[in-house]
């Protein structure tokens, strides 16, 4: 994994079922005008996130997203979209589980923060020559696989699976599999303040801004939209999972792709860009 342009930390050898970062990270964007907590406070994120699918947000958008998925066959594409104003999960394309790759790191981070809030672990705990808090940042912002391994070691495979089950997510850490909709629900619950304390929510969201790889969903949204995201890349899987925020509007968009190219690119990146552009044009 190459050194990112901001808040640089060097990456380390991968752990099992993990996703290396792409070789050429995009240049970092300028610092955000607002903090993650300030954006979240104004974006109406309080709606519950039901475990059901409603009607399409908009018939035209539904047709566009479905058309993009069909046009990119035989690649497998799963898309999930949530309007935080109503919390309904909308699914398109493949609804089965994908290898989550590094998008699963958000669940790992949420699990650790939850255990810290329960007094079972500490953000200040020594870990890998640093602290748990530092490794949480590296795991999310730099997609550092060694940090992921250390965090998983602290929470345990059963610990992350139990936490996932407590928020309505069926997760197998050995396989590291999630559906696009499950990942979208995790992000919606996080942004809505339903997983963690306000301070820990703001900290985790801040790590999801201006990461070591901004060339997927962040590159495809117009200026003025704040993006909090986590990408994943492994064995032909290329994913991005994001929260898109502008003024009082907030949406969760997750695009999971699996192609025949072992690197997962550039076809997967093109699909993610097309879906993101269609969603942003219609909803913002």
Whether the CB-CB separation of 5 and 21 falls below 8 Å is answered with no
Q: How far apart, in whole angstroms, are the C-alpha atoms of residue 183 and residue 158?
A: 19
Give residues with Cβ within 8 angstroms of 150, minimum separation 6. 127, 128, 132, 135
CA distance 111 to 152: 9
What's the average model confidence in pLDDT over 60-74? 94
140: nearest Cα among 89, 190, 79, 94:
190
Q: Helices (DSSP H) in the chain: which residue ranges? A: 36-41, 59-71, 105-117, 132-141, 145-155, 157-166, 180-191, 198-207, 217-220, 267-283
pLDDT in tens, 184-202: 999 999 999 999 999 999 9
What does the pLDDT look like over 18-48, one tens digit per residue? 333 443 344 444 444 466 666 666 564 544 4
Q: Confidence class of residue 267 from pLDDT cuts 50, 70 and 90?
A: confident
| pTM of the predicted model as reported, rounded to 2 decimal places | 0.84
Average pLDDT, the chain: 85
Predicted pLDDT at 57: 75
C-beta of residue 267 within 8 angstroms of C-beta of residue 255: no
Tokens 């970062």 belong to which residue? Answer: 21
Check residue 75 and report its DSSP letter. S
What share of the chain in percent tops pLDDT 90?
Answer: 75
- What is the mean predicted confidence (pLDDT) over 163-168? 98
Residue among 97, 119, 236, 231 at smallest CA distance from 173? 97
Rounded CA separation 241/255 (Å): 6
In this prediction, residues 94-99 reach a mean pLDDT of 98
Q: What is the pLDDT of residues 227-263, one digit of tens each?
A: 999 999 999 999 999 999 999 999 999 999 998 665 5
């Amino acid at each position: 994994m190459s050194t990112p342009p901001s808040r640089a930390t060097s990456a380390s050898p991968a752990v099992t079922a993990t996703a290396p970062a792409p070789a050429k990270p995009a240049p970092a964007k300028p610092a955000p005008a607002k903090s993650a907590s300030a954006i979240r406070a104004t974006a109406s994120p309080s709606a519950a996130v039901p475990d059901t699918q409603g009607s399409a947000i908009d018939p035209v958008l539904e047709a566009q997203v479905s058309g993009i998925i069909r046009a990119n066959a035989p690649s497998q594409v799963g898309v999930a979209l949530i309007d935080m104003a109503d919390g309904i999960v909308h699914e398109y394309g493949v609804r089965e589980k994908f290898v989550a790759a590094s998008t699963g790191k958000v669940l790992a981070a949420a699990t650790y923060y939850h255990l810290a809030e329960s007094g079972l672990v500490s953000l200040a705990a020594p870990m890998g020559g640093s602290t748990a808090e530092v490794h949480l940042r590296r795991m999310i912002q730099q997609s550092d696989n060694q940090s992921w391994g250390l965090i998983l070691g602290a929470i345990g495979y059963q610990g992350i699976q139990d936490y996932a089950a407590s928020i309505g997510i069926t997760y197998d850490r050995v396989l590291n599999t999630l559906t696009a909709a499950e990942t979208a629900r995790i992000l919606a619950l996080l942004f809505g303040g339903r997983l963690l304390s306000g301070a820990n929510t703001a900290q985790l969201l801040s790590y999801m801004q201006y990461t070591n790889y901004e060339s997927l969903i962040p590159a495809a949204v117009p200026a003025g939209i704040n993006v909090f995201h986590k990408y994943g890349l492994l064995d032909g899987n290329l994913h991005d999972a994001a929260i898109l925020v502008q003024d009082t509007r907030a949406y969760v968009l997750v695009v999971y792709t699996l192609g025949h190219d072992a690197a997962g690119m550039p076809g997967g990146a093109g699909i993610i860009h097309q879906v993101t552009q269609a969603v942003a044009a219609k909803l913002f």
